[in-house]
């Protein structure tokens, strides 16, 4: 019986530990939610996520399931992302200037160029506020797709992609905090600052993780929610205030719930929209074209150009066994901006029509980026094969 149970459990454990699994689940949830949203009972399904289920009265709180997921549950996603960033800054790929400069520069290029492309499409459209949408890279999807390409993606390139995606997340968090919050309420903002200082005090006094920090973190989330600053950013603030020796323990406890419950719920809730009958016309809008061009073209171009400049001025160097063709291929992978792009969309556009248009553009961009990445790696592989064959054909001549 134990042997049967072990065989049953091991594949599931392997699946849950595999970086591809998160991407597969996200893709499944996206397709499922879009399908359910556009069936005969689609209106009821969409209302399930967006209909008011809570009347807060004098206590301001999220009013529907979708808001609870985006404002509260996603704080745990940002907590996990924040701890990954902190760990890499303390003792990982970002722990020194030389280690950090290339992914930092590449991530900056991968944010600036897409934002400029989006603004170029929407300069006089009234939708300039959506410039943050194509600046994001989805860690789970990009690394999951990279794993599907196997040995075509060398270890050094995967590490660079992971570091870039983490820094990209940090950049997206800063963009959301600075540009996509509401009107700041001074009282709640001051309360948030005081509570955050108390969380740091627990760290300085080396108080073990307990109900004190958890209560303060929940209170910080509530005051942030009502301060006008994006409430989910609380997760990053709490992560940065946690002692380094606690990171592994906290990450271990929230890793599976975040990746296999919260992120799939986020995908289900945020892709529950009615696909327009005129998809071509929707994609022909400046918003859609700005998002698609920003992610599919702007990401690889920005990453490649900024990386090239850093290497040219000898500020950074390429990872071992990585060439420029592979850097360009990695840039196309970074064009997969699913989670953070959709999250930013919900903040950038209040009207459902343009939210839906942007989400459709993000989904198309994801498909385009995967196809372009596959074609790019095939071309690189073909060129490498031709070079090896040419070298082998010259060997007998040189031996003579």
List, as one string, the DSSP characters of 358-373: HHHHHHHHHHHHHHHH
Q: Which of the residue ranges 103-107, 167-171, 221-225 would you say has the lowest mean pLDDT?
A: 167-171
- How does residue 55 score in pLDDT terms, banded at 50, 70 and 90? low
- How far is the C-alpha of 85 from the C-alpha of 83, rounded, in Å? 5
Please report the pLDDT score of residue 164 as a whole number: 87
Cα of first residue to Cα of last residue in the chain, in angstroms, is 67
Please report the pLDDT score of residue 143 as a whole number: 77
Please report the pLDDT score of residue 277 as a whole number: 77
Q: Residue 312: phi, psi to the nearest 5?
A: -60, -40
- How does residue 5 score in pLDDT terms, banded at 50, 70 and 90? very low
Per-position DSSP letters for 220-259, written without gaps between them: HHHHHHHHTS-GGGHHHHHHHHS-HHHHHHHHHHHHHHII
The rounded Cα 77 to chain-centroid distance in angstroms is 10
Task: Dump pLDDT digits (tens) for 169-211.
Answer: 778 878 887 888 667 788 999 999 999 999 999 988 888 888 9
For the cut 80, the answer to whether the pLDDT of residue 18 exceeds it is no
CA angle 120, 121, 126 (to 5 degrees): 100
Per-chain mean pLDDT for the chain? 85
Q: Which of the residue ranges 116-120, 359-363, 380-384 would you say has the lowest mean pLDDT?
A: 380-384
Q: Is 326 exposed, middle or buried (0-12, 13-18, 19+ CB in 10 A)?
A: buried
Please report the pLDDT score of residue 32 as a whole number: 95
* pLDDT greater at residue 94 or residue 38: 38
- How does residue 130 score in pLDDT terms, banded at 50, 70 and 90? very high
Task: Dump pLDDT digits (tens) for 228-281.
Answer: 777 888 998 999 998 888 888 888 899 889 989 998 999 899 888 888 778 888
DSSP assignment letter at 322: -
Please report the pLDDT score of residue 184 as a whole number: 78
pTM of the entire predicted model: 0.78
Q: Extract the tokens encoding 374.
A: 């596959």
Radius of gyration of the chain (CA): 23
In order of their start, the domains of the chain are 22-181+230-345+353-395 (1.20.1530.10)
* pLDDT greater at residue 371 or residue 146: 371
């Amino acid at each position: 019986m134990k042997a049967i149970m072990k065989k049953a459990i091991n594949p599931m454990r392997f699946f849950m530990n595999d970086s591809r699994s998160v991407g597969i689940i996200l893709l499944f949830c996206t397709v499922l939610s879009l399908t359910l949203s556009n069936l005969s009972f689609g209106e009821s399904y969409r209302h399930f996520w967006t209909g008011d289920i809570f009347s807060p009265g004098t206590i301001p709180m999220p009013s529907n399931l979708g808001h609870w997921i985006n404002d509260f549950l996603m704080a745990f996603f940002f907590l996990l992302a924040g701890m990954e960033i902190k760990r890499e800054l303390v003792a990982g790929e970002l722990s020194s200037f030389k280690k950090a400069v290339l992914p930092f520069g590449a991530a900056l290029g991968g944010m600036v160029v897409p934002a400029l492309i989006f603004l170029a499409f929407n300069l006089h459209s009234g939708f300039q506020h959506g410039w943050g949408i194509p600046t994001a890279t989805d860690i789970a999807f990009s690394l999951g797709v990279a794993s599907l390409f196997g040995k075509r993606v060398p270890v050094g390139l995967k590490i660079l992609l992971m570091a870039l995606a983490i820094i990209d997340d940090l950049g997206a968090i800063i963009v959301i905090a600075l540009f996509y919050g509401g009107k700041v309420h001074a009282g709640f903002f001051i309360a948030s600052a005081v509570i955050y200082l108390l969380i740091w005090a627990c760290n300085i006094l080396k108080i073990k993780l307990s109900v004190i920090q958890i209560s303060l973190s929940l209170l910080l989330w509530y005051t942030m929610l009502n301060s006008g600053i994006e409430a989910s950013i609380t997760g990053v603030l709490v992560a940065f205030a946690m002692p380094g020796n606690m990171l592994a323990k906290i990450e271990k406890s929230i890793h599976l719930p975040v990746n296999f419950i919260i992120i799939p719920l986020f995908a289900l809730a945020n892709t529950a929209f009615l696909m327009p009958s005129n998809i071509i016309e929707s994609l022909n809008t400046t918003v859609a074209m700005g998002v698609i061009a920003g992610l599919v073209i702007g990401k690889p171009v920005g990453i490649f150009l900024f990386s090239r400049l850093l290497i040219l001025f000898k500020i950074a160097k390429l990872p071992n066994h990585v060439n420029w063709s592979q850097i360009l291929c990695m840039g196309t992978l970074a064009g997969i901006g699913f989670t953070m792009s959709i999250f930013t969309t919900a903040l950038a556009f209040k009207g459902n029509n343009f939210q839906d248009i942007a989400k459709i553009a993000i989904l198309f961009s994801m498909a385009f980026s995967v196809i372009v990445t596959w074609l790019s790696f095939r071309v690189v592989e073909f060129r490498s094969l031709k070079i090896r064959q040419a070298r082998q054909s010259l060997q007998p001549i040189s031996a003579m």
